[in-house]
Structure 1
């Protein structure tokens, strides 16, 4: 259902205070690019802190990655339709929160999307749409209603054989949140964890100014539609403009509606702001699937979250709680 693209740029100040140093490292984790940036007065300490952030993200990957055969999530998937699997409280709680988003969005977000047949290809090899019958069959094993949690035993049971759960979306947001939490607990006063567009920020830049996050223009990807200042916050972007197919003049996103098997249409970019990258990711993906009206109804229920939506017509829409200034209400395609 969900494959995120890096849709936001970090714009770092070029004015550095002599007492503080900015350290950044890029690495591949959870199958994606992670950029870890922190501010420190000591270079060696900064490198050690970044190592600890990487260790935390790697620990989470080993717990929840459905592509690692020895992870707890893989064990849950391997026993679908057979038995309940006992998991760590951390995995159980993450699954519980994912189910909450699934229920909240009536399945527009669904962690059992991992069982969906990969009938859509976004690598220029598709020449025609799949048939309705093939599309319908592709979602037969998808359905969050068939995930059974036992909080007393800390078990997860998938009722149907062939079912799978996956955290390819909110998992990176969760890892960004946890890495930020670790850094703050170690006394790192400022930084950004960027998990392929799922960002968790805290503190300020070396010159005392806010972090500036640029939101990509989905029609001209070298341009920005907005630059927003953040302190301790999270931001995620879901979009269709990097991976899509077109048939009969209609663009079909790589973000698939897990209820229907059809790609989402109508919105090309949704950026969500709030305290948690995990939750923001769940919202941004869901809004792409739900569409403008239902998506705004969803986000407006949560006072700590806001969003910026760009439609396939170039219209720019802000949710009620969106606090940043935007000059344009429409961008040229």
Structure 2
């Protein structure tokens, strides 16, 4: 058994950056235990896919445009993988004309301002979920370096000025729909 402790009274751990991915992974495990080998589970910003659609084709998932509500950056196919997106476009407030999202940079204690969204593909939802939040905080240079060091992962980042940065492993071209 592994354990952890918090050094000071009143400290707490926020599991929001990976809990939805964990829940989606666990749901797939339960389905598999019951003999269901093809499924698509959506939990917040995380989507986990196993197997294929009923017609035998792969699951297709849209990556939302962070500033155009009804537009998509791209569509990807998922099979036995997960994608998670962290962004500043669903949970935010505006102050003095500046958008401030819910993702806090632990180094500054302030909302991250240099990113609009980060999508990460990984084998497990818990990994894609945690990594999308981590890359949102790290930014494009350090974020892509991290993804490039992790086999089986890919990332698509949209910066504050709407520039798109992709890891070399990102599976699709970007075409805004």
Tell whether the structures are fold-level matches, with TM greater than 0.5: yes
- 2:131 corresponds in structure 1 to 283
Distance (whole Å) between structure 1 residues aligned to residue 38 and residue 20 of structure 2: 20
1:35-74 equivalences in 2 (<5 Å): none
Correspondence 1:158 to 2:15:
no
| Corresponding position: 1:293 with 2:141 | yes
String of CA shifts for 1:73-99, please: whole Å, max 9, x gaps.
xxxxxxxxxxxxxxxx4xxxxxxxxxx
Distance in 1, matches of 2:19 and 2:94, equals: 29
Is 1:200 matched with 2:48? yes
Shift in Å at residue 171 of structure 1? 1.6
Partners of 1:234 and 1:280 within 8 A in 2? yes
- Using structure 2 for the length normalisation, give the TM-score: 0.92
Aligned residues of 1:238 and 1:284 also touching (Cα < 8 A): yes
TM-score (norm 1): 0.50
Tell me, in whole angstroms, the C-alpha distance in 2 between the residues paired with 1:172 and 1:216. Answer: 18
Instruction: Tell me if the contact between 1:303 and 1:321 (Cα under 8 Å) persists in the aligned partners.
Output: no
Structure 1 gap segments, 5+ residues each: 1-88, 90-150
**Among residues 39, 64, 67, which one is paired with 1:219 in the alignment?**
67
TM-aligned CA deviation for residue 249 of structure 1? 4.5
Aligned runs of 1:63-212 on 2, under 5 Å?
89=1, 151=2, 155-212=3-60
Distance 1:255 1:239 in 2: 8
Aligned residues: 177
Given that 2:73 and 2:175 are in contact with CA atoms closer than 8 Å, whether structure 1 keeps it comes out as no
SS at match of 1:158: coil
C-alpha separation between the residues in 1 aligned to 2:128 and 2:90? 20
RMSD: 1.7
Task: Identify which of 101, 104, 109 aligns with 1:256.
Answer: 104
Q: Does structure 1 residue 305 correspond to structure 2 residue 132?
A: no
**Larger proportion of strand:** 2
Tell me how far apart the structure 1 counterparts of residues 101 and 169 of structure 2 sit (CA, whole Å): 27
Q: Is the 8 Å Cα contact of residues 265 and 289 (structure 1) preserved in structure 2?
A: no
State how far apart, in whole Å, the 2-side matches of 1:254 and 1:159 are. 25
What secondary structure, in the 3-state scheme, does the structure 2 residue paired with 1:156 have? coil
The answer on 1:315 being equivalent to 2:163 is yes
Displacement of 1:168 in angstroms is 2.1
Give unmatched runs, 5+ long, in structure 2. none
Mark the structure with the bigger radius of gyration: 1
CA deviation profile, 1:106-148 (whole Å, cap 9, x unmatched): xxxxxxxxxxxxxxxxxxxxxxxxxxxxxxxxxxxxxxxxxxx
Relative to total residues, which structure has the larger helix share, 1 or 2?
Answer: 1
CA deviation string 1:278-310 (max 9, x = no partner)? 011111001111111111111111011001111
Cα distance, 1:156 vs structure 2: 2.8
How far the C-alpha of 1:185 sits from its partner, in A, is: 2.6
